[in-house]
Structure 1
Amino acid sequence: MSYRNGQRLPLDGGGTVRLSVNPRARRISIRIDGRAGEAVAIAPSERRLGDAVAFVRAKTGWITERLEARLEGQPLSPGQTILVQGQPTRLEASGKTGAARLTADAEGPVIRSGGEGEAFARRVEALLKRLARDTLTARTEVHLRTLKQKPVRISIADTRSRWGSCSPHNRSIRYSWRVVMAPPAVLDYLAAHEVAHLVHADHSPAYWSVVHGLVGDHRPFRAWLREHGPALHAVGR
């Protein structure tokens, strides 16, 4: 049986799996798209999609468990606790009309903001985006200097599945603001990951050697994003 890129197949345990071809992938893998509520089977070429389907069938139980465990979206609202650079941070209404501010009290970090309902959520999200830009810009500049690279243009977005992307031809890097919820070491790894693409645009061994020179063993950071990514994507939905 032949399969095609983007095809969706039902899972025996419920839910769906989407087939995806990524020429840069070195092996067949499965990830959970928490926002779409489906599994994604990734193959390095279309002719290997059959192998990806076989792998999915062997992992049906694991996939079903992960899909059932995915977090539902929750709007940013007073009383909620989110992560900010890996630290549990409470959201509180200030009772005023001002912008959101990150501060701390005896119980730990807290974001206080004016506004109600959607206005409160917008102000908190705006603060998180500013924090993401400031932190990721700083780490990006550190790695640029280390690799003796020229400045790049940095933008912050809310991407669906990628935490960051680099376009070497126009020297631009885009980050998802949601990664600001990750621990500082993960943020630093992401910046190193994207800056290293200015040296090698692929994911070859030479590329990973550059990443290793910047942050050491990258595997724990990638594992953190795989494990906690769905929860980060659920925040503010």
Structure 2
Amino acid sequence: MGQHVLPGNPPVEINLKRSTRARRISLRVSSLDGRVTLTLPKGVSEKSGLAFATEKAEWLRGHLAKQGGIVQVGPGASLPIEGRMLTVTGGTGRKVRIEADRVIVPGTDDAMAAKLLGYLKTLARDRLAQASDHYADVLGRRYSRITLRDTRSRWGSCSASGGLSYSWRLILAPPDVLSYVAAHEVAHLAEMNHSERFWTAVQSIHGPYSEQRAWLRREGAQLHRYRFEG
């Protein structure tokens, strides 16, 4: 149905959706990226739904504040790259580069997010390919391809044909976390399950992984806070 912004400090962006199965108006805040969805059942007007959301505006702001809120990437924004928190800064030149505690993005402000996103995806592919090649060599298996996506439900996957798929947002995480995910997916080339033999394979090619796995469970949702569109 589209989007609506509840005025206030700060404004709250609402995604409106209609469902024939819903029995009542519902508001949901995604634990992954903080997106707010207002679901309207059949027969309930958009005006009534927005009135309901307005009544819950302070609750929404409180809930979003606890999550840390959404970060719209642009000049002055802070975001992690390979686990280091950097400030997005405009600059001259042709290429995105990292200097000290800044990521410098040449060009106009309105093109900054798209250019930075392209840089991050390229860097993610490079790092994930290196890690996948390494662990595949250790395992003695070969994968068929690498695909990058922006998945919310999983950080990686391995297909029956040997294709590896990863979330490009892993480039925001510390390098050892990215490496663990690569080892996890490469291990599926030998064991397409999560059996004891699978975890033994992960251990054999990666070494101890409990800290990296715990980091993803604890901090992984925060990587979805960063928005590059609009």
Q: TM-score, normalised by structure 2?
A: 0.70
Deviations 1:148-202 (A, max 9, x none): 11242001111122111110x2211111111111111111101000000111111
Identity %, equivalent residues: 32
Deviation at 1:215, TM superposition (A): 1.9
Quick one: structure 1 residues 17 and 207, their matched pair in 2 at CA, closer, same or farther if it must change by over 3 Å?
farther
Aligned AA (1:103): I
- Does the CA contact (< 8 Å) of 1:91 and 1:111 recur in 2? yes
Deviation at 1:218, TM superposition (A): 1.7
Does residue 200 of structure 2 align to residue 213 of structure 1? no
Equivalent of 1:195 in 186, 204, 223: 186
Deviations 1:126-157 (A, max 9, x none): 11111100001000000000011124200111
**3-state secondary structure, aligned to 1:161:** coil
- Does the CA contact (< 8 Å) of 1:81 and 1:88 recur in 2? yes
Q: Residue 227 of structure 1 corresponds to which residue in structure 2?
A: 218
Q: Residue 33 of structure 1 corresponds to which residue in structure 2?
A: 32
Structural RMSD (CA): 2.8
Q: Residue 45 of structure 1 corresponds to which residue in structure 2?
A: none
Deviation at 1:36, TM superposition (A): 5.1
Q: Residue 102 of structure 1 corresponds to which residue in structure 2?
A: 97
| Structure index of larger Rg | 2
Quick one: structure 1 residues 226 and 144, their matched pair in 2 at CA, closer, same or farther if it must change by over 3 Å?
same
For structure 1, the residue ranges without an aligned partner over 5 or more in a row are 1-6, 19-31, 39-64
Deviation at 1:228, TM superposition (A): 1.4
Deviation at 1:15, TM superposition (A): 7.0
Q: How does 1:89-168 map to 2 (within 5 A)?
A: 89-94=86-91, 98-99=94-95, 101-104=96-99, 108-167=100-159
Q: TM-score, normalised by structure 1?
A: 0.68
State how many pairs are aligned.
183
Q: Residue 9 of structure 2 corresponds to which residue in structure 1?
A: none
Quick one: structure 1 residues 35 and 215, their matched pair in 2 at CA, closer, same or farther if it must change by over 3 Å?
farther
